[in-house]
Amino acid sequence: MARETKHERVVRGMFDQIVEHLHEFKSLEGNPGTKELDVERWCQSVLRSCLGFTASAGYSIRAQETKGRSRPDLVVMKGEKPVFVVEVKKLGFDLNKSEFRSGKVQLKEYLHTIGDVRYGILCNGTEWKLFDFAGPVNGGIEIAAIDIKCGAETIDTSKKAAEELCWDLLELHETSFSAGSWDDLSKEATAFSPESLAKAILSADVVKYIARAIRGEHEYRASHEVLTDKVYFLLEKGLNDAIPGWNDSRSAELTKYIKAQKRASRRTKRSKSNSAEAPAMEPVASAPAASTEKTVVEEKSNSGTSAA
């Protein structure tokens, strides 16, 4: 039996609390009298009970005693040092709003007022967005985004959905923060920015790979220059405008496919993690060097034939 990994232990430990808080949130949504303060208290409970920012771990969470414009709703402290802040919005608030003193702009001002605080979270109960304001992007960069509804109209409280949410929330957990994973998320967000991805996709090597895939599927040898223009057109226009007949149904199909691929990738990652922590096994005999060299030669030969 494979030994339980650290992440699996964290997920198992937070599962019951996540389920409890999901049911509590459903009650908040169903109550027309729910106020922003109710959402704030629920978020504070999630930080402590689910995400591990507890007193026993050396943390305290300070809430504003009086509402104003100078401080965020919640300040998470490690000892006497503020380590990140949380601005809580009412249910349904659009976290992407950029008007003055709203959303990320407001969060940045709070961090500037407090000073020496790198991270901030925007939350409307359903959505949690983590920002890093220490990078070269002056306005801050979004490094993690969690939707407890996973894009659905209502919260799924099934065991499977709750477990998947626990894995998603690992990015916001105290173990990730204390291990420096938030810094890794920031580097990842910078590397995966739209500009960076576009340049990578339009690079000569990637376009050549796409050309080979198209040739294999359609038996058509595409011009790399024409293909580069076509890929750029798709990136610039987006699926909505570039594909005739694009509709909600086709969008839902692609979204479902993407989610399935992400789950498959996550299972692979867990499997690799289990293998890494498993007791050492007797080594499996590797293929003879001559056989390996032959395979490489054959691959190069095949590649040369395809390019001809």
Domain architecture of the chain: domains with CATH: 6-191 (3.90.1570.30), 193-266 (no CATH)
Residue 193: predicted pLDDT = 86
- Token couple for 59: 């943390």
Residue among 149, 137, 169, 188 at smallest CA distance from 46 = 169
pLDDT at 289 over 50: no
Residue among 205, 185, 204 at smallest CA distance from 118 = 185
- CA distances 274 to 8, 160, 267, 270, 278, Å, are 10, 20, 10, 6, 6
Higher-scoring residue by pLDDT: 68, 289: 68
- CA distances 135 to 130, 132, 140, 143, 148, Å, are 14, 7, 7, 11, 27
Eight-state DSSP code of residue 57: G
Residue 120: predicted pLDDT = 93
Range name among 81-95, 116-130, 131-145, 234-248 with the lowest pLDDT average: 131-145
Q: At what angle do helices 6-30 and 248-277 cross, to 10 degrees?
A: 150
Measure the CA–CA gap between 181 and 173, rounded to whole angstroms: 10
Residue 136: predicted pLDDT = 58
Measure the CA–CA gap between 173 and 13, rounded to whole angstroms: 12
Measure the CA–CA gap between 137 and 206, rounded to whole angstroms: 27
Task: Evaluate whether 71 touches 93 at the Cβ level (below 8 Å).
Answer: no
Mean pLDDT (the chain) is 84
Tally the C-alpha atoms within 13 A of residue 4's C-alpha that lie toward its C-beta. 8
- Token couple for 97: 């709003």
With cut-offs at 50, 70 and 90, classify the pLDDT of residue 307.
Answer: very low
Higher-scoring residue by pLDDT: 160, 271: 160
With cut-offs at 50, 70 and 90, classify the pLDDT of residue 178.
Answer: very high
The pLDDT of 291-295, averaged and rounded, is 38
Range name among 49-53, 86-90, 201-205 with the lowest pLDDT average: 86-90
The pLDDT of 8-13, averaged and rounded, is 95
pLDDT tens for 210-249 read 999 999 989 999 999 999 999 999 999 988 888 888 888 8
Could you tell me where the beta strands, DSSP code E, fall in 8-140? Answer: 59-63, 74-78, 81-88, 119-123, 127-132
pLDDT at 278 over 60: no
pLDDT at 283 over 50: no
Measure the CA–CA gap between 214 and 200, rounded to whole angstroms: 18
- Burial code of 55-81, b = ≥16 C-beta within 10 A, e = fewer? eeeebebeeeeeeeeebbbbbbebeee
3-state SS assignment for residue 78: strand
Task: Evaluate whether 279 touches 2 at the Cβ level (below 8 Å).
Answer: no
pLDDT tens for 28-70 read 999 999 999 999 999 999 999 999 999 999 999 998 765 555 6
Higher-scoring residue by pLDDT: 131, 101: 131
Residue 296: predicted pLDDT = 38
- CA distances 290 to 226, 287, 296, 301, Å, are 41, 8, 10, 16
The pLDDT of 268-278, averaged and rounded, is 64
Residue 115: predicted pLDDT = 82
